[in-house]
Amino acid sequence: MKKKVSIIGAGNVGASLAQLLVYSGICDVVLFDIVNGVPQGKALDLSEACPLWGSSINITGTNDYKDTAGSDVIVITAGLARKPGMSRDDLLSANAKVVADVAKNTCQLSRDAIFIVVTNPMDVMAQVTLKVTGFNPDMIIGMGGILDSARFRTFVAWELGIAPEDVEALVMGGHGDQMVPMPRFTTAKGISITHLISEDRINKLIERTKNGGAEIVGLLKTGSAFYAPSASTFQMVKSVILDEKRLLPCSAYLNGQYGLKGYYAGVPVILGKKGVEKIIELPLNEQEKSAFEKSFEAVKGLVQNLNTMGG
């Protein structure tokens, strides 16, 4: 029996993720959206591509949450996208209402599902999903670290003039302005970039990584990034569905790791069919530890602000 993945939100990220999943053939897909006709039309379009891709999966477009019942993975992409001049945090209140509604309507239908949260501000939205579902925190994961690390990998590869696949990067902390790229743990074929790139140039690459989403928003003017976010989410879904146990940077609920507790933050995790199967604790130096804790406190502050607003 095929695994089932439900994508909530049929916008650019959701539809692009659906395309990647359909093309891969690893699971059946349900594409949900509140707008009548949009998920149905995109699902039909993708179904008609299946013969060309050699894919035999089923994809359903729907406006009914009942069609998501029995999902192995639920991906939340629904919500407002960033516009020029907006930070991820500006989306806080509006998207919290959307994500809470999604979590409420899906969790009772799929009690064993792993939730992957994409909607921004992502770390806070993962916290909202946790609160609404009451699930084990290991079953709810935020997508951000993979995307941020992919952007860092891209910029490092361009700087060195090498293939992006030869770069492994690590970005920790919240998925926002307080993200913490980790040059010591970023390597080109096992060689730390601190041995290959000057500190000044590394700092410039870090700044571009932090502003990676905003740079794309500024260029598009009418939307936000979706190719890299959907590819990042696909990597997470694949690791869960196939129980690959990939070591990936994801937003996970900290329960004492790194001396922090009670909120989500980007850390290296082992991702498998049970969700976050282990959080890897790295030996951070004082500068890295301080930056990570500052990022954690920023996420904590947003959650508390949302609670104050009644979210």
The answer to whether 195 is a known catalytic residue is: no
Q: Which of 82, 175, 210, 300 is catalytic?
A: 175
Residues with Cβ within 8 Å of 284's Cβ and at least 6 positions away in sequence, in order, are: 258, 292
By C-alpha distance, which of 215, 238, 93 is closest to 148?
215
Bridging pattern class, strands 140-142 and 275-279: unpaired
Q: State in Å, rounded, how far the first CA of the chain is from the last one.
A: 38
Amino acid at 47: S
Residues with Cβ within 8 Å of 32's Cβ and at least 6 positions away in sequence, in order, are: 6, 7, 8, 9, 10, 39, 62, 63, 64, 65, 67, 68
Both structure tokens of 109? 């239908």
| 276 DSSP β-pair partners | 271
Both structure tokens of 48? 């008609």
Residues with Cβ within 8 Å of 179's Cβ and at least 6 positions away in sequence, in order, are: 144, 148, 171, 172, 173, 209, 210, 266, 295
Residues with Cβ within 8 Å of 136's Cβ and at least 6 positions away in sequence, in order, are: 275
CA distance 213 to 82: 9
Q: What is the DSSP letter of 274?
A: T
DSSP string, 35-70: STTHHHHHHHHHHHHHHHHT----EEEES-GGGGTT
Q: Would you please indicate which residues are annotated as catalytic (active-site) residues?
A: 175
